[in-house]
Structure 1
Amino acid sequence: MTEPLVSIICLCYNHASFLREALDSVLDQTYPKIEILIVDDLSTDNSVEIIQDYVHRFPAIRFIRHTQNQGNCASFNEALLLSQGEFIIDFATDDVLYPDRVALQVEAFQKLGATYGVVYTDAELIDEQSTSLGFFYARNASGQLFPKPVQGDVFSEVLGRYFICPPTMMIRRLVLEELKGYDPELAYEDFDFWVRSSRNWKYHFLDQVLCQRRMHPHSLSRRVYQKGDKQLASTVKVIQKAQKLVRTPLEREALKVRIKYEARHAYLTANYAEAAQLLQILQEEGGMTAVYKLLRMLTKQKVPLQFLRRWYHRWRYGHTSA
């Protein structure tokens, strides 16, 4: 069986502290047919100097240096157009790949049918000092994972809940070409990609830990559900797209679950405009129960109940939430 080319698109913005560890992990892959593309999205630290050192030592690396900040989605799309791999990894340069990451995911793809577009895995979580914080999936004594991963047709599942660790994905190029890449109008890509891709493509979960996801205060994921969070506006747009894609009552119920979840968090983080939009969509979907009618009234009045979310997080996790 021939070895397909894999393109690793490395996206950098002010990752100087983590960049060498990240790029070394790409170069240390055991899989032989890899192309590396690095996009620096106008970093203000010394990321560019570090990247140039790697390009000098490894001339096969393709380096795209931005003179204007374009965001992750547009940066990824630019590199995607230049790439040639049959499979793609979207790699943030604050994360770390395990050496056999590419080899094992390619092997998994080669055992699957052509209708499978994504292979995703478990991940180790690390802090700024690369100290382990555990894993993305919790495992009970019998080996069951939480959140429960799903395989095959995952469309209704990605509508209703989060269960995929984004940096673990390997994506079939045909999927991205069908979608015309990421939506550059959005502040983040994963939820939108999951919704649009899973409508026509199957997902496979490979129960392996194949990368490290870095958790630090400046990551996009840590800014979700804060007051003024620009990602919520993107979430509203993705939900509006999902409205046009749902086909079954089960999928519509999953969409309502997601809308309610996002509306609650938008309200409880004082993002009232997005909360109002989400509640309007919920009404369109016929999901306005008495609780959410009350939430709509509180949203209109901008009644500040953010302390409830902080209290819940203190009770649930032992700390306050931003």
Structure 2
Amino acid sequence: MEEALRSVLTQSYRNIELIIIDNASTDQTVAIIKRIVREHPRVKFIANPENRGLCKAFNQGLYLARGKYVIDLSGDDLLLPQRIERQVVAFERLSDSYGVLFSNARYIDTHGEPLHEHYPLDSKGKAKVPVPSGDVYKEILRKYFICTPTMMIRRSVLDELGGYDESLSYEDFDFWVRSGVRYRYFYQDEILTHKRIVPHSLSGEVARPGNQILESTYAVCNKAYDLNRDQEEFDILAARIRTFIRKCLYAQEFELAVRFRKLLNYIEDPDLLTEAIVLLCRLRLPINGIYRFYLANFQKKPPRRKDLALDVVVP
């Protein structure tokens, strides 16, 4: 966590507002933050007496922010020294139709050793796969493709959206849907961020019965249904809903699977495979233990979401 803070404070771009929100950490996090604040009195720090959730914590920081651009940074991740400077330069060249700028990232382990890149690199250090840029709304509906901490967001976009939706347990899919349908995204083809992979992955949380992630995802899918502009977008959303129905089976969120199926039915008649999965949910088959064993032993582990929110604001 201290490394993440230092990576912000040592940026080549100096006109930065750093706002730290701690959600009732139980380790030495607060002591480290207070030491940083003593060294850098301009840093703003809010210590919540209870865990208010990531979305509420971010909005706390957004309320205090005064800058033109915002970065939502986890306490595990690192900004490379020229990250903010290079993104500001790129953003200033874009029209107001662009609301978000994002880049490639390098994943690192708990010791800071490099693992792999978010987008694989060619011999010139550029992404060797096509990366969506411009109107990316259809791709947002289709799949996860943005490494969240690489984003720099236009502050006016967050204001227009009312910040993050505090009723949700996580933020990125909802933000992408609500902003992507209105604004263009720009891909900056360089590595400017290190994303740390740590234990207790999001995939493990999704698989845990009673978690709120799939419930939040259902709410976002309903928003996307209302925002969609053409039949292709509905078809893409339908395919994504089918994957969430399977996840509901794995997590034994049986009633939620039926609700997803009802939403899907507004778009298309569910296929036989989907109907079979919903039937298994109605039968309430206890397969969660098998699925979590698979995740723990055979699945790559993506990053955990931390209880520390850093709002890095660029005036």
TM-score (norm 1): 0.87
Worse overlay, 125-134 or 199-208: 125-134
Shift of 1:140: 6.4
- Aligned to 1:212, the other structure's residue is in SS state strand
Question: What are the residue-to-residue correspondences of 1:80-159 with 2, within 5 Å?
Answer: 80-139=62-121, 145-146=128-129, 148-159=130-141
Shift of 1:126: 1.3
Aligned to 1:68: 50
Worse overlay, 273-282 or 77-86: 273-282
Return closer, same or farther for 1:222/1:106 CA change in 2, 3 Å cut-off: farther
Aligned to 1:178: 160
2:190 paired residue among 208, 212, 215: 208
Aligned to 1:23: 5
Aligned to 2:214: 232
Shift of 1:149: 2.1
**Kept in 2: contact 1:97–1:212 (CA 8 A):** yes
1:264 paired residue among 233, 240, 246: 246
Distance in 2 of aligned mates of 1:275 and 1:199: 26
Worse overlay, 66-75 or 219-228: 219-228
1:319 paired residue among 295, 298, 304: 298
- Aligned to 2:116, the other structure's residue is in SS state strand
**Kept in 2: contact 1:216–1:222 (CA 8 A):** no
**Kept in 1: contact 2:104–2:190 (CA 8 A):** yes
Aligned to 2:307: none
**Kept in 1: contact 2:137–2:177 (CA 8 A):** yes
**Kept in 2: contact 1:149–1:164 (CA 8 A):** no
Return closer, same or farther for 1:312/1:60 CA change in 2, 3 Å cut-off: closer
Return closer, same or farther for 1:249/1:206 CA change in 2, 3 Å cut-off: same
Return closer, same or farther for 1:222/1:137 CA change in 2, 3 Å cut-off: farther
The answer to whether structure 1 residue 41 and structure 2 residue 10 are counterparts is: no
Which structure carries more relative contact order (alpha carbon 8 Å, separation 6+)?
Answer: 2
Distance in 2 of aligned mates of 1:102 and 1:221: 30
Distance in 1 of aligned mates of 2:24 and 2:290: 38
Letter in 2 for 1:278: F
Worse overlay, 72-81 or 214-223: 214-223
**Percent identity of paired positions between Structure 1 and Structure 2:** 38
Shift of 1:153: 0.8
In the alignment of these two chains, the number of paired residues is 300
The answer to whether structure 1 residue 192 and structure 2 residue 171 are counterparts is: no
**What are the ranges of 5 or more consecutive residues in structure 1 without an aligned counterpart?**
1-18
**Kept in 1: contact 2:207–2:291 (CA 8 A):** no
Letter in 1 for 2:102: Y
Return closer, same or farther for 1:234/1:283 CA change in 2, 3 Å cut-off: same
**What are the ranges of 5 or more consecutive residues in structure 2 without an aligned counterpart?**
302-315
Return closer, same or farther for 1:250/1:145 CA change in 2, 3 Å cut-off: farther
Distance in 1 of aligned mates of 2:63 and 2:294: 45
Distance in 2 of aligned mates of 1:219 and 1:312: 13
- Aligned to 1:138, the other structure's residue is in SS state coil
Distance in 2 of aligned mates of 1:154 and 1:247: 13
